Chains A and B, each alone.
Chain A
Amino acid sequence: MPKKVKKYTFKFFKALAVITFASAALFPVVLNVLASLLEPSFFDNKIAVGDFKYYSLFGGTAFTPSRYAEIVNGQFLRAALNTTFYAFSISALSLAVSLPAAYALAKFKLRLEKAMLMTAVTVLMLPPVAVCVPNFIIFDKLNLIGSPFAMILPGIFSGLAILVFRQFMLAVPDDVLFAAAIDGAGSFGIFFKIMLPQIKGAVFSVFILIFARSCNLAEQSVILLKNNEWTPVAVYLRERFLNSPDLILAPVSVIALFFVLVVVTSKRIFSLSPSDEFSFRDE
């Protein structure tokens, strides 16, 4: 093969990889938004081909925004507000708890460091439902069953936040902190003025991540809340979904577009490892 042809073939495959990769993330979102605008009858009219029935793409279906009436439904709004409240309080409090803890784990010499790391890794992998029943007993003793705090408290203690922050803090050289100490900064001064500004990117990424994970709160609400008005949106949507899958197209489009907006408007690359400065091989 001539060298030039080889070069262009290579370029073509690179471009193909780029396009595939980019569209892969957005593809279902776009599809969902389109589907949410279709007439409700679209999902009932199927045409039979062979042994199976298929949706007819060219069956004269019109576009209509009627599904979006689902969003102004009072129950959905209340559930969405609940989840927003849970997510914001969990992620904010979780930062407040994890940042100092990660600092202690990264920069102090602690005797039980290994045990604490193991606890963090375990909590990272453990699904909430595994500690659901014992937590129920604890909250029952504290008289918190049915209140939103029962949902918020366990979520604050996030293994992921501690592990990620610790990785970033390990990458900050000790000499910098040492220099600040010599210049007279106190322990808290070093933490707030030297350490935190250097890991801003991680704080942002982890905030978004915990926010998103808190939107998943579902099973524990059944026993911790007894299905009262504090039900999270995931439970509400799941019930609608099991009723009929096309009912939640509109709310889901809105939620998905919200997350797309978060990703598009954020200036930096989300990162869970200590460098958001990417460079490439020949850079």
Chain B
Amino acid sequence: MNEPKKKRASAVYFIRGRFWLLYLLSAALGFALFYVLPFLASGYYIFFEPDGVGGVNKINGIAATLFNPAFMLALKNTFFMLVLYIPAISLFSLAASYVIFNMGRKFAKTGRVLLSFAFLPYIMPAIVVVALWFFVFDGSSVLNFVLRSLAGVGLDFENGISALFALMLVFLWKYAGINIVIMAAAFAFVPKETIESARMDGCGEAKLFFSVVFPQVQKQFYFTVLLSVMGIFGLSDEIYAIWGAYPPQVLYTLHNFMTNTVLKMEYHKSITAAVVFSVFVVLCAVVYVKMEKRWNG
């Protein structure tokens, strides 16, 4: 993984590097046609053809979407979900993978089986995930009976805040496994000598983790954060499957806004939202690629 950087200006390039275009051609064409071009076209559309009205109303059309209460709510909720869910899943999977990594030889076989099962929730389609969890977080379920008798509050899909936390558990179930697999592999790559020599110098467990182990796996850690961000954007499939077009207010995300406006044929609003969303995603991508360059070299 952490190959020295100088090797990358590959010797192969100088010998057999003429065909790079052939390798890239199909992918480049596809990405350009189905993602880059639509993005540019959307940008053009929202500025120059607002809702077919044209002329002076250009800016009004965009402003009408951006200051639309539904859009504001969607933006706020998406941001809130990111702030709440990302730290939860990142810390949980980091801790769990470190525990699995530390289990040692006796658990190696079990550990491997577990890691292969960790992938299972990740590959389940959204509608299956929803159906699997629906009766667990139903207001009439056994879980809610127990919770209400013991703690006094239920955890169901019905009202706002409780739905937010129920969905968080579903999110953890679905995405923590894959993060754990990636992090466990990353821990396995940490040279044993660094751990041993830190031990010899009298390093405690906490310091060992934060100063020796974590710096060596941070690249993979940020990849799991990226996957989780993607998971949150993808979570709207589940939200849409459970509640249809109008989920509880705290769960009305940008994705819902886009889907609803597309289905109501308010294309201008949908595209404006999509452009705002994409700009945010592109910013994330820029940060990620910049950081990746730094870690690689």
> Inside 8 A of B136's CB, which chain A residues have their CB?
28, 31
Q: A14-B107, A53-B140, A190-B16 are in contact. Are A263 and B120 (CB under 8 A)?
A: yes
The one of B9, B117, B140, B286 in contact with A46, judged by C-beta atoms closer than 8 angstroms, is: B140
Most buried by B among A122, A129, A276: A129
> Inside 8 A of B79's CB, which chain A residues have their CB?
none
Q: Does A199 interact with chain B (Cβ within 8 Å)?
A: no
Q: Does A100 interact with chain B (Cβ within 8 Å)?
A: yes
Q: Does A252 interact with chain B (Cβ within 8 Å)?
A: yes
The one of B3, B28, B117 in contact with A25, judged by C-beta atoms closer than 8 angstroms, is: B117
Q: Does A114 interact with chain B (Cβ within 8 Å)?
A: yes
The one of A101, A125, A186 in contact with B23, judged by C-beta atoms closer than 8 angstroms, is: A101
Contact A125 B281 (CB under 8 A): yes
Min distance, Cβ B134 to any Cβ of chain A, angstroms: 5
Contact A218 B237 (CB under 8 A): yes
Most buried by B among A121, A181, A262: A121
**Which residue of chain A lies nearest to B18 when distances are taken between CB atoms in the complex?**
A187
> Inside 8 A of B31's CB, which chain A residues have their CB?
119-120, 123, 157
Contact with B along A260-279 (1 / 0, CB 8 A): 10110010111111111111
Q: Does A124 interact with chain B (Cβ within 8 Å)?
A: yes
Contact B38 A135 (CB under 8 A): yes
Q: How far is the CA of A123 from the CA of B34 in the complex (A)?
A: 10
Contact B135 A31 (CB under 8 A): yes
Q: Does A144 interact with chain B (Cβ within 8 Å)?
A: no
Q: Does A130 interact with chain B (Cβ within 8 Å)?
A: yes
Contact B38 A107 (CB under 8 A): no
Min distance, Cβ B111 to any Cβ of chain A, angstroms: 6
Contact A134 B41 (CB under 8 A): yes
Q: Does A108 interact with chain B (Cβ within 8 Å)?
A: yes
Instruction: Please list the residues of chain B having a beta carbon within 8 angstroms of any beta carbon in chain A.
Output: 1, 3, 7-13, 15-20, 22-24, 26-28, 30-31, 33-39, 41-42, 45, 96, 99-105, 107-108, 110-128, 130-136, 138-142, 144-145, 148, 154, 173, 177-178, 181-182, 184-186, 188-189, 192, 195, 220, 223, 226-227, 229-230, 233-234, 236-237, 240-241, 244, 255, 258-259, 262-263, 267, 270-271, 274, 277-278, 281-282, 284-286, 288-289, 292-293, 296
Q: How far is the CA of A27 from the CA of B74 in the complex (A)?
A: 32
Q: A219-B240, A278-B184 are in contact. Are A21 and B26 (CB under 8 A)?
A: no
Q: Does A249 interact with chain B (Cβ within 8 Å)?
A: yes
> Inside 8 A of A28's CB, which chain B residues have their CB?
132-133, 136, 173
**Which residue of chain A lies nearest to B131 when distances are taken between CB atoms in the complex?**
A252
Instruction: Please list the residues of chain A having a beta carbon within 8 angstroms of any beta carbon in chain B.
Output: 14, 17-18, 21-22, 24-26, 28-29, 31-32, 35, 46, 49-50, 52-55, 57, 96-98, 100-101, 103-105, 107-110, 114, 116-127, 129-135, 137-138, 153-154, 156-157, 162, 170-171, 173-175, 177-178, 181, 186-188, 190-191, 205, 208-209, 211-212, 215-216, 218-219, 222-223, 234, 237-238, 241-242, 245-246, 248-249, 252, 255-256, 259-260, 262-263, 266, 268-283
Q: Can you sample 15 A-B contacts with CB below 8 Å? A: A14-B99, A17-B99, A26-B117, A52-B154, A55-B138, A97-B27, A119-B285, A121-B285, A131-B34, A132-B270, A154-B34, A171-B1, A187-B19, A273-B1, A279-B188
> Inside 8 A of A126's CB, which chain B residues have their CB?
35, 233, 277-278, 281
Contact A174 B289 (CB under 8 A): no
Q: How far is the CA of A177 from the CA of B12 in the complex (A)?
A: 7
Contact B135 A35 (CB under 8 A): yes
Contact B124 A109 (CB under 8 A): no
Q: How far is the CA of A21 from the CA of B181 in the complex (A)?
A: 12
The one of B34, B103, B131, B226 in contact with A138, judged by C-beta atoms closer than 8 angstroms, is: B34
Contact A181 B15 (CB under 8 A): yes
> Inside 8 A of A260's CB, which chain B residues have their CB?
120
Min distance, Cβ A228 to any Cβ of chain B, angstroms: 17
Contact B117 A22 (CB under 8 A): yes
The one of B41, B101, B121 in contact with A280, judged by C-beta atoms closer than 8 angstroms, is: B101
Q: A25-B117, A278-B111 are in contact. Are A241 and B103 (CB under 8 A)?
A: no
